[in-house]
Amino acid sequence: MKVIFSLDGKTKEIQTKTGATLADILKAEKINLQTGLIKLNGKLTHPTTELKDGDKLEFVNIIYGG
């Protein structure tokens, strides 16, 4: 199945296996959950939630340097 993934204003389509979770996508993208918020279809969502085909996933980076 395919999901739409956004990070820092950049969007891409990701092909993933059925039953994949938000946490699986973050792991594949090498993103540390501690550094931001994960939203599914615009809402804050638990990382172990299973994705559906066509879901829109967004990672909001909250950690900035300095």
Partner 1 sequence: MVTCTKCKKRDAVVDLGYTGSDLCSPCFIAYFEHRVFKTNREFKLIQHGDKIGVGVSGGKDSAALLFVLTKLTKHVGAQLIPILIDEGITGYRDKAAEKAQALCDKLGLTLHRLSYKKVFGISMDETVKKRDKVKWRGACSYCGVFRKHALNKAAFDLGCDKLAIGHNADDMAQTILMNFLKSEPARFMRFGAFSGITERDKFVMRIKPLMYVTERECAIYCTLRDLPFHLQECPYSSDSFRGELKDFLNSVEEKHPGSKFNIIKSFLSLKELMVAAPVSEKELKHCAKCGTPCSGENCKACLLTEELKNAPQGQLKNRK
Number of residues in contact with partner 1 under rule CB under 8 A: 20
Q: Is 43 in the site for partner 1 (CB under 8 A)?
A: yes
Long-range contact pairs involving 6-9 (C-beta distance under 8 Å, separation at least 24): 6/56, 6/57, 6/58, 6/59, 7/31, 7/58, 7/59, 7/61, 8/61
Q: How far apart are CA 66 and CA 59, in angstroms?
A: 21
Based on the shown chain and the rule CB under 8 A, indicate whether residue 15 belongs to the binding site for partner 1.
no
The residue from 2, 35, 41, 52 that contacts partner 1 (CB under 8 A) is 35
Residue 36 CB, shortest distance to partner 1, in Å, is 7
Binding site for partner 1 (CB under 8 A): 32-37, 43-49, 60-66
